[in-house]
Amino acid sequence: MNITNDKITEYLDSYYKPLDDDLAAFRARNEENGVPLILRETESYLAMMLKVLKPRHILEIGTAYGYSAIFFARSCPEARVTTIDRGQRMIPIATKNFEEWPEGERIDFRTGDAREILDQMIKDAEIKPDPYDFIFIDAGKSHYKEFFDRAIHLAAPGTVVVCDNILMRGWIVDRSYEGGKRHRTNIKYMKQFIEYINGREDLTVSMLSSGDGLAVIKLDE
């Protein structure tokens, strides 16, 4: 379902340009099989951000089958990407995809609960810092604050953090949207996360209705 207007999304999507034919085919396979992956509008926005920011070290929370991680690595040929997922169904398929795509060599796939993995990464960074300069959060919707608070410990000053699905198909503003009642907990925690980031004086926050809703957060320089 579209959170704004189906016709507008259809119109915008008609201008969507995949990075290349391989990624277009990968997207099509994932969409046909109902695999979760970033929406076209979200990808177009991220592609713009990557061109402008040219990150060298990207952290992603929420890998699924690896589409967005491969998209990040393909878009930024000089960058290294770390991506985290705990889904037992996702892990073997993402692992295989990273073995098959040449970009897999630049993708560090960590498996397990992102909160635990990030805690360990924070400890490791105390000994050997290796800061990230672009962060994408696209995992469990009840845990964005926990992911964000940890991830920013690993970030270089001025890093941009993009959080996907903050409007949750519109349920965040109107629970009468189909299915909203089933996701009460996610909605409650996502609302708290939105309050939290907007209440912090040290963050610059922009919230967009693109895709399923994006929060774009810039850390202080």
Contact positions toward ligand SAM, by CB under 6 A?
36-38, 62-64, 67-68, 84-87, 90, 113-114, 138-140, 143
**DSSP letter for each residue of 66-87:** SHHHHHHHHH-TT-EEEEEE--
Report the nearest approach of ligand SAM to the CB of residue 172 (Å): 16
Q: Which is nearer to ligand SAM, 188 or 220 (CB)?
A: 188
Please say whether the beta carbons of 48 and 57 come within 8 A: no
- What whole-number distance in Å separates Cα of residue 58 and Cα of residue 161? 10
Q: Which is nearer to ligand SAM, 184 or 198 (CB)?
A: 184
Report the nearest approach of ligand SAM to the CB of residue 37 (Å): 4
Q: Which is nearer to ligand SAM, 68 or 82 (CB)?
A: 68
Residue number, nearest CB to ligand SAM: 87
Report the nearest approach of ligand SAM to the CB of residue 221 (Å): 27
Report the nearest approach of ligand SAM to the CB of residue 73 (Å): 12
- What whole-number distance in Å separates Cα of residue 13 and Cα of residue 20? 16
Q: Which is nearer to ligand SAM, 67 or 101 (CB)?
A: 67
- Rounded to the nearest 10°, the torsion over CA 155, 159, 162, 163 is 40
- What whole-number distance in Å separates Cα of residue 6 and Cα of residue 2? 6
